[in-house]
A and B are shown apart, each in its own frame.
Chain A
Amino acid sequence: MKVVPSRSSEWVEPVTTQKPASAIIEIDRVSQIFQTSARKDHLALSDISLTIEEGAFVSILGPSGCGKSTLLYIVGGFVSPTSGAAKMKGQAITGPGPDRGPVFQEFALFPWKTVLGNVMYGPRQQGVRATEAETQSRALIEMVGLKGYESFYPKELSGGMKQRVALARTLAYHPEVLLMDEPFGALDAHTRTRLQNDLLNIWERDRKTVLFVTHSVDEAVFLSDKVVMMSKSPGRIREVIDIDLPRPRRRNELLLDPRYQKYVVDIERMFDESDEGGSAS
């Protein structure tokens, strides 16, 4: 039960030696430098260490430009860190793999495939037989509330529906960790609320490990077991907060719960106090 931030070098022993039995992802002193121009380097992530335990819903919360998405891409294996390393179940992450399934803000569906074709793509690639993949995919499409839309193309769907398809497509190949990169960021407030509720319902069924990047405090508190607060320039972990709220969570109950309100107010205040002035909501 430990998400360990290491903000400075006083954490002498890296997390590997003391790792909790259930650690699934370990981020060990990761830094990321981007070359913005020929002479200027931008330190996007500075010395990030974080351990994520199996089955936890962990949000990475921070202002835009704090490197939170970059951190997610490093875990996904899409980006290699400039220094440090990320590990999945003790194995160094060297590239993308079906054990870590991404869901992007941009949906990134295959536009030439139907809803069913998109969801079946992963299982088919993994060698699942066509009939079996189709049965599983149809069930997933129903689970995300899109029964009847199997033969539609992404162009024919609204943003919320596209993100439901993207979630089903990733769940279809059974990744051990879901990597969600501001998945509801491009949606209107009403749609976002509905998808948050549905995501929580789906997640509370099988409790996959989720790493969820967001800039919304409400969203992070509502969904997560742990909130990792980041500050920007350079991107560092500021605070890790356990969200001790009962599950299953219902939005209408939670919004009235003083504990929920306190988490939101406290986190917002911490962001306001930070000298960068990065508002995080």
Chain B
Amino acid sequence: MISPATMVKRAAPVLACIGLLAIWQIASLALKHDSFPTALEAIRAIPDILGDKESLINILASLRRMAIGFGIAVLVSIPLGLLMGRSRAVAAFFNPLLMVIYPVPKAALMPIIMLWLGVGDITKTLVIFLGVSLPVIYHSFEGAKAVEEKMLWSSAAMGLSSAQRLVRIVLPAALPEILTGCRTGLVLALITMITSEMIARQSGAGNILFNALDMGQYDTVYAMIIIVGAMGICLDAVFERVRARLVRWSEPQFDIPLSFS
């Protein structure tokens, strides 16, 4: 038996989506504008896109670039962030560098990168990499800085070298914070994926979207927005499951001390 409270909790996101679509439908019917199709029209266009081989190839190409960009970014950013968090010298070197790059929209760098690397996969993957790196570095840095010193001392007394402490103590201790950064990074990967394809059109989900916009196929434009949104929700849901598994030990619902000294 599912309790009423759980039912409400599970139904809530579905209800929110239906509500949003309903508002869209009403607004569209009220405005009667050519460039603003109704929600139903947009939804009806989705099977056409997903049924089309060409479109699927485009979307898969996007996802592949995103996965590669995100993967490399995480592999580089976590060690760098952890090193920055535990070494003042490393932090002093990289911090100003990152502060300069952080506020620059990564898509704004695309034209420059395109000059060097062309309009292909490398450029787009590099932009995604840049977009994901900064939040992951930042959160890894903060997580590593916050590791309790006495925990490191305890492990040093057991004979762990400083390199072993970084991998076996700082990394797991900072993992909840690191994964928060990765979650932000995942959303940014999706955003930079689409914007990179907007600037360098060649293939990808963004390519379908902006081509349809040029040709005035507004139902396809809105259908693509729904598809990208749904991709975001799915990726986040999968990530959240993995995250919850990895850091079960730090979850607040565990915070019920037993009455025993």
Contact = CB atoms under 8 A, between A and B. Distances in A.
Contacts of A125: 158-160
Interface residues of B, number: 26
B250 to A, nearest CB: 6
Contacts of B256: 156
Of residues B158, B169, B250, B257, which shows the largest number of chain A Cβ atoms within 10 Å of its Cβ? B158
Interface in A188-216: 190-191, 194-195
Given A111-B173, A155-B254, A97 B159 contact: yes
A169 B153 CA distance: 13
Contact of A108 (B151, B159, B160): B151
A172 B235 CA distance: 43
B261 to A, nearest CB: 4
B172 A108 contact: no
A108 B257 CA distance: 17
Contact of A110 (B151, B255, B260): B151
B5 to A, nearest CB: 24
Interface string A32-61: 000000000000000000000000000000
B151 to A, nearest CB: 5
Given A97-B159, A191-B261, A111 B249 contact: yes
Nearest to A172: B158
Interface stretch (A98-106, A240-248, A255-263, A270-278): A98-106
A95 B154 contact: no
Interface residues on chain A, size class: 35 or more
Interface string A117-139: 00001100110000000000000
Contact of B154 (A104, A158, A160, A191): A104
A121 B159 CA distance: 11
B156 to A, nearest CB: 4
Nearest to A114: B249
Interface in A217-250: none
A185 interface: no
B150 interface: yes
A96 B257 CA distance: 32
Contacts of A173: 158
A17 to B, nearest CB: 30
A169 B154 CA distance: 10
B236 to A, nearest CB: 23
B160 A160 contact: no
Nearest to B175: A112
A89 to B, nearest CB: 16
A156 B259 CA distance: 10
Nearest to A187: B261
B214 interface: no
A160 B259 CA distance: 10
A110 B159 CA distance: 15
Interface in B207-261: 247, 249-250, 254-261
Contact of B159 (A98, A156, A194): A98
Interface in B8-58: none
A161 B259 CA distance: 10
A76 interface: yes
Interface string B113-148: 000000000000000000000000000000000001
Interface in A40-99: 73, 76, 78, 95-98
Contact of B158 (A73, A98, A153): A98
B154 A156 contact: no
Contact of A112 (B156, B158, B173, B259): B173
Contact of B157 (A76, A113, A155): A76
A161 B158 contact: no
Contact of B250 (A104, A111, A160): A111
A161 B173 contact: no
A157 interface: yes
A112 B172 contact: yes
Interface in B162-206: 169, 172-173, 175
Contacts of B157: 76, 96-98, 100-102, 170, 175
A91 to B, nearest CB: 16
B147 to A, nearest CB: 10
Interface of B: 148, 150-151, 153-160, 169, 172-173, 175, 247, 249-250, 254-261
The 5 A-B residue pairs whose C-beta atoms are closest, nearest first, are: A160-B261, A108-B150, A191-B261, A96-B156, A158-B257
6 contacts: A76-B153, A104-B153, A104-B154, A110-B169, A158-B259, A170-B157
